[in-house]
Amino acid sequence: MTSQDAHLSSVPAGFPSPADDYKANKLDLDELVIHNPQATYYIRVRGNSMKNAGIADGDIVVVDRSLDATHNAIIVAVLNGGFTLKRLYYKDGARYLVPANRLYKPIKVTQGMEFHVWGVVTYCIHRVK
């Protein structure tokens, strides 16, 4: 059946549906996870360094570049010519990139490093098997 057929078959022949006045839009995932479409990007995560923050190998994270990276935010950063996904920590005036997995070590951001925040992670899309 085409959408055109569907349209034709809904031509009223009997009593109008009592639900007609209460029709609302279907739920849209975009509405839930995207607050600023122009600044929103998707990134696939490889590795387990953020496992304990609920981000597993193969997950897709939603990254919003319009947000400012505050203490404790999970961020995507450019670090010495590569991207990295870590939790941003401020301590005693220094910045740290902290993994959420004991097998990995925190990185202290120092003067000589090429470092800037690329975006802030807002959601994680995880496939449940």
Partner 1 sequence: MRRHVFALIDCNNFYVSCERAFNAAIQNKPVIVLSNNDGCVVARSNEVKKLGVKMGQPVFECQALIKQHGIQVFSSNYSLYADMSDRVMAILSTFSPRMEVYSIDEAFLELTDLCINDLTEFGRTIKSKLQQYTGIPVSVGIAPTKSLTKIANEMVKKEPQFGGVLDLTRLSDQEIDEILARVAIEDVWGIGPKYALFLRNYGISTAKDLKYADEKWVRRHLTVTGARIVFELRGIACIPLEEERPPKQGIMCAKTFGREITSLEEMQEAITTYAARAVEKLRDQDSLTSCLTIFIKTNPFQKNSEQYSNSFTMNIPHPTAFTPDILKYALEGLSVMYREGYRYYKAGVYLTKLSPQSSIQPDLFGEFSLSQHYKQAHLMAIVDAINKIYGRDTLIFAIQGITRSWKMRQLRLSSHFTTNWSEILTI
| Residue 66 annotated to the active site | no
Judged by CB under 8 A, how many residues of this single chain contact partner 1?
Answer: 26
d(CA 13, CA 115): 67
109 close to 95: Cβ distance less than 8 angstroms = yes
Question: Segment near partner 1 (CB under 8 A), from 15-23, 71-79, 90-98, 104-112?
Answer: 71-79
By CB atoms closer than 10 A (0-12, 13-18, 19+), residue 39 is: middle
110 close to 116: Cβ distance less than 8 angstroms = no
d(CA 109, CA 90): 10
Question: 16 vs 81, which CB is nearer to partner 1?
Answer: 81
| Residue 17 annotated to the active site | no
Query: Cβ of residue 31: shortest distance to partner 1, in angstroms?
Result: 17
Residue 56 as a binder of partner 1 (CB under 8 A): the answer is no
Residue 125 as a binder of partner 1 (CB under 8 A): the answer is no
Beta bridge partners of 116: 78
Residue 9 as a binder of partner 1 (CB under 8 A): the answer is no
Interface contacts to partner 1, rule CB under 8 A:
2-4, 36-39, 41-46, 60, 65-66, 76, 78-79, 81-85, 114, 118
Active-site residue list: 49, 86
